């Protein structure tokens, strides 16, 4: 009986953990605000959909909750300046119609490399 109780408790904890990783969707007028989660429950990314397409500001996070990327979609296409962080490195990537048109890289010393 103890073994069954332990297995049932373990199954319940695993089921709760899995439920936390499911995305959430909230209607806000014409938009749907989406939040996706890592398996550990931390937010993986959040943003909006409009008419079924990515639209508006999107932000991504690593499993520790640190922001790793941020940018904007318009009608499902990356547009404008996107920002990417990785450790001490920071990149600005310019998009037009989901195509990269410029990259500026900043390192920990403040040096800038334009590609």
CA distance 44 to 21: 9
The yes-or-no verdict on residue 88 having pLDDT over 90 is no
* Tokens, residue 78: 């990356």
Structural domains of the chain, ranges and CATH numbers in brackets: 22-114 (2.20.110.10)
pLDDT at position 115: 59
pLDDT tens per residue, range 10-69: 344 444 444 458 999 999 999 999 999 999 999 999 999 999 999 999 999 999 999 999
pLDDT at 55: 96
Q: Is 6 left (phi over 0), alpha (psi -120 to 50) or beta?
A: alpha
Rounded to an integer, the average pLDDT of 69-85 is 96
pLDDT of 8 over the 50 cut: no
Asked whether residue 4 carries a pLDDT value surpassing 70, the answer given is no
Q: Please give the pLDDT value at position 111.
A: 65
Average pLDDT over every residue of 74-80 = 96
Q: What is the DSSP string of 17-86?
A: HHHHTS-EEEEETTEEEEEEE-TTS-EEEEEEEETTEE-EEEEEE-TTS-EEEEEEEETTEEEEEEEEEE
pTM value is 0.74
């Amino acid at each position: 009986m103890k073994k069954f109780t332990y297995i049932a408790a373990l199954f319940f904890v695993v089921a709760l953990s899995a439920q936390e990783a499911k995305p959430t969707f909230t209607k806000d007028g014409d938009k749907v605000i989406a939040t996706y989660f890592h398996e550990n429950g931390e937010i993986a990314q959040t943003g909006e959909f409009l008419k079924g397409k990515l639209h508006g500001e999107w932000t991504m996070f690593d499993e520790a909750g640190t922001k790793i990327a941020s940018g904007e979609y318009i009608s499902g296409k990356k547009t404008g300046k996107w920002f990417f962080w990785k450790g001490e490195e920071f990149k600005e990537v310019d998009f037009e119609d989901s195509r990269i048109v410029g990259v500026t890289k900043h390192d920990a010393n403040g040096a800038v490399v334009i590609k």
